[in-house]
Amino acid sequence: MAETNFPTATAYPEGAERLSEEQREAMRGEPPFAEAPPTDSRLVRALKEAGITAGLIAVLTVFFFAFKTDIAAGGLALTADPIQWIVWIAIAFVGRFVLSYLVFANDKPTVGGWKKITAATAGWPVGKVIGAILLLVALTLPFLLSTFLPSQNRYLLDLSILILTYVMLGWGLNIVVGLAGLLDLGYVAFYAVGAYSFALLATNFDLGFWVCLPMAGLFAALWGVMLGFPVLRLRGDYLAIVTLAFGEIIRVVLLNWANFTGGPNGILGIPKPTLFGLEFNRGAGSFSDFFGIPYSPIQRFIFLYYIILALALLTNFVTMRMRKLPVGRAWEALREDEIACRSLGINTVNVKLTAFATGAMFGGFAGSFFATRQGFISPESFTFIESAIILAIVVLGGLGSQLGVVIASVVMIGGIELLRNLTGLQAIFGAGFDPTEYRMLIFGLAMVLIMVWKPRGLVSTRSPSAIYKAKKKIGADLVAQGEGH
């Protein structure tokens, strides 16, 4: 007697979804039948693969490594550098051979042990512990730096400010992309609106940072609604490309509307923030004067650091609270299935617009912080590449994960910045070698590699905000994140 057995949510055994994930992993891209056993030995096969790879590299790079075009006296000249080309081919051959012979041919996947570890720790509140530690480090960072690394204090503090700016932007974009599932490639537009509204208000009406900050956020939110309204009907990739177009339109307008925005010259002399009217400079009425401590330029950096930390934490706090409110749940519902959302009576127009507006507002805050930190802005700072970096941080961190954004920002921005210090490589590659040239190259490559390695991002499991009966971990694989519905 066949018994129909409907699997209910409670009927799934422990680890079932992990099992199905593994099965899917195994089947991906492969035909569902066994291939004929390879006749070549492992060595021959590895050599063959290495040969193919080397040949491919030879074809790909012949016009980039072996021959180069240079500007010469009468136009262009060609310089040949076959040594470099051959070196790269050799590297490709050896690298592929080692991979094929030692790694790919191995029957036991080396990641097995790691999976066990992550499975064992699945029940622990790892995220909360890491989050608390990170928060503690972030709060005390300026003092830690001045105690332990006084020589590089200023540089590291500046880097931390930069990373925190990206953390904040990432958290802001996470509302739009991670929670509401609206793929936005033009987020930098709101960053620009925030920066320009603060800069214009400050230089034209002589207003201070703290007055302009909420106004900049408000303007950006308004733009979020204005740009969000026409794209309500679009989904997925189409939404992405239209938001990209909007971002570019705003940049081109900023570039060409010279008598309002200053055009390519940008806006100079944006005021620095003050602490209740106390400025961070020498002389009477300044911060150091008021508190009777010796002046040091680092004080302003510490102040800026705490401003951006507070703004970022505000973003995080608001997001976490919003997720518990009806509107936040509507965002997540919208991400999972727009049609279901609509049939349950959720007003998708309002839900989408609030997501755009909230995300844009935090972008605007971050923008005005950027303007006040730099003291100078120009359209150069708001290119598409910025949007791509912010989106990369959100996606690589794991969509919808707040902790993931922090980790991704530190890895991507901080890791790239580390290149500056790798001057030791000049000994290997010659004196003309400048590691900072390779920043964006490595950034792009890292985006590809991290995505291929972990398509769900670095932090890929998260608990749902709305709980029915018992709290359960859901594999990120089971939610249709970022489908852009």
- For residues 483 and 181, the answer to whether their CB atoms sit within 8 Å is yes
Per CB under 8 A, the segment of 203-211, 247-255, 423-431, 463-471 that binds another protein is: 247-255
Nearest to 249 by CA among 230, 275, 277: 230
Beta-ladder partners of 462: 474
From residue 11 to residue 50, the character string flagging contacts with another protein as x (rule: CB under 8 A) and all else as - is -------------x---xx-x-------------------
Q: How far is the CB of 142 from another protein (least distance, A)?
A: 32
Q: How far is the CB of 150 from another protein (least distance, A)?
A: 35
Residue 237 near another protein by CB under 8 A: yes
In this structure, the dihedral spanned by the alpha carbons of residues 307, 308, 309 and 315, taken in order and rounded to 10 degrees, is: 110
Instruction: Tell me the number of residues near another protein by CB under 8 A.
Output: 68
- For residues 178 and 399, the answer to whether their CB atoms sit within 8 Å is yes
Q: In this structure, what token pair is assigned to residue 32?
A: 């569902």
- For residues 450 and 396, the answer to whether their CB atoms sit within 8 Å is yes
Q: How far is the CB of 200 from another protein (least distance, A)?
A: 20
Residue 405 near another protein by CB under 8 A: no
- For residues 388 and 244, the answer to whether their CB atoms sit within 8 Å is no
* Angular region, 236: left φ>0, alpha ψ -120 to 50, beta rest: left
Which residue of 51, 82, 264, 444 would you call a contact of another protein, by CB under 8 A? 444
Residue 67 near another protein by CB under 8 A: yes
Residue 260 near another protein by CB under 8 A: no
Q: In this structure, what token pair is assigned to residue 313?
A: 């934490």
Taking the least distance from each CB to another protein, the nearer of 354 and 481 is 481
Q: How far is the CB of 124 from another protein (least distance, A)?
A: 27
C-alpha span between 464 and 128 (Å, rounded): 15
Cα angle 481, 484, 485; round to 5: 105
Beta-ladder partners of 80: 67
Residue 233 near another protein by CB under 8 A: yes
Taking the least distance from each CB to another protein, the nearer of 137 and 252 is 252
Chain residues in the site for another protein (CB under 8 A): 24, 28-29, 31, 56, 59-60, 62-65, 67-71, 75-78, 183, 230-231, 233-234, 236-238, 240-242, 244-246, 248-249, 252-253, 255-256, 339, 384-385, 388, 391-392, 395-396, 399, 437-438, 440-441, 443-448, 451-452, 455-456, 480-484
